[in-house]
Amino acid sequence: MNKNTKYIYTANTGEDTISIVDYNKRCEIGKMDLQSMAKINGQHISSKPVIGPYSLMMNPKGDTLYSINCYDNSMYIIDRETNTLEERVQVGSYPCEIDIDWHEHTAYVTNGDSNTLSVVDLGKNRLVGQIPIGELPQGLKIGRKRKEVYVANMWEDKIAVIDCMKNILIDWIAVESCPSYVLLPQDEKTLFVSNSRMGSEGGGVISILDLDSKQTLKRIPVGNIPRQMILSSGEEFLYVVNSTGNSLSVISLEKGQEIKRIDIGNMPRGIAMDKENQTLFTTNIGDNTMSIISLQDYTLIDNIKIGKSPNGIVLLE
């Protein structure tokens, strides 16, 4: 692959592949077949997904890709340049999301069925701990200044706080209904929480929590079933995918409100943005597409076809 080309990778849960999209051409140029990579059942390839790539993360050098796989309860460590599997690490039951402390060489993985947080030593590529947390843990973020991990527990309406030094649960923060994802700004003084509020006719909200007082500072209404979020580099704007709303909310943090809602693909989940803050990308589970959105005029540029049931997404720039 051309080292000067920008690529986008998407985890296609419904077909055990990772799509490779050319950033400039804006089209899929190839796929990593995880079944072939792992040689599932010897040479036999299953007609159904048995690995389930769900979330992705790239190391800072851009040469290693981490895939969290919900069907075989694993984390794959993939050499991105050769598209080969370097290591497979068993984690918990139905793993969902990952965050990595690159300084400590430690990965944390939420496990939706076993209600645990897996701790993986990336120096040795092995599981070193399982921390019991709340029911149906989903999104997580590492707070490096406080040395804590924050985990959204969707069925318990609270955020678990984990001590990274001891790898133990130390606190809970009560939030609104069905928290699914969390996000930290650079100063790590507050925490953004997407509250799905399942079954609510009024849609979801983004809660902003003060991490000192553990109190909610503000609630910002958005679309139906908000999921993943991303901040602009200057932190003026917060972008949120609304899964059943098939839309992207644009929030002005100065105004403390949604200022734009953009129709995108069907059932968006993953979200990524380029370094220039010009273009945003979402994976759309419902129609097997990736939306490309202009942040200059807040318009949908295109929905391009990728793999089946795409979830996680990362950019290589």
pLDDT (average), residues 258-285: 97
Is the pLDDT at 43 greater than 60, yes or no?
no
Cβ pair 75, 94 in contact under 8 A: no
Cβ pair 26, 290 in contact under 8 A: no
pLDDT at 40: 58
Domain ranges of the chain: 93-174
* Class in CATH terms, 93-174: mainly beta
- Min mean pLDDT across 8-12, 194-198, 234-238 is at 194-198
23 CB burial (10 A radius; 0-12, 13-18, 19+): middle
Is the pLDDT at 173 greater than 90, yes or no?
yes
Whole-number percent of the chain with pLDDT over 70: 95
Q: What is the mean pLDDT of the chain?
A: 94
Cβ pair 137, 160 in contact under 8 A: yes
pLDDT at 39: 75
pLDDT confidence tier of residue 305, bands split at 50, 70 and 90: very high
The C-alpha atoms of residue 297 and residue 98 are separated, in whole angstroms, by: 32
64 CB burial (10 A radius; 0-12, 13-18, 19+): middle
DSSP β-ladder status, 148-153 and 137-143? antiparallel
pLDDT (average), residues 261-278: 96
272 CB burial (10 A radius; 0-12, 13-18, 19+): buried
pLDDT at 1: 63
The C-alpha atoms of residue 282 and residue 304 are separated, in whole angstroms, by: 10
Cβ pair 8, 21 in contact under 8 A: yes
**What does pTM read for this prediction?**
0.95
pLDDT confidence tier of residue 200, bands split at 50, 70 and 90: low
**Residues in the chain, overall count:** 317
The C-alpha atoms of residue 208 and residue 248 are separated, in whole angstroms, by: 18
The C-alpha atoms of residue 81 and residue 64 are separated, in whole angstroms, by: 8
pLDDT confidence tier of residue 239, bands split at 50, 70 and 90: very high
pLDDT at 75: 98
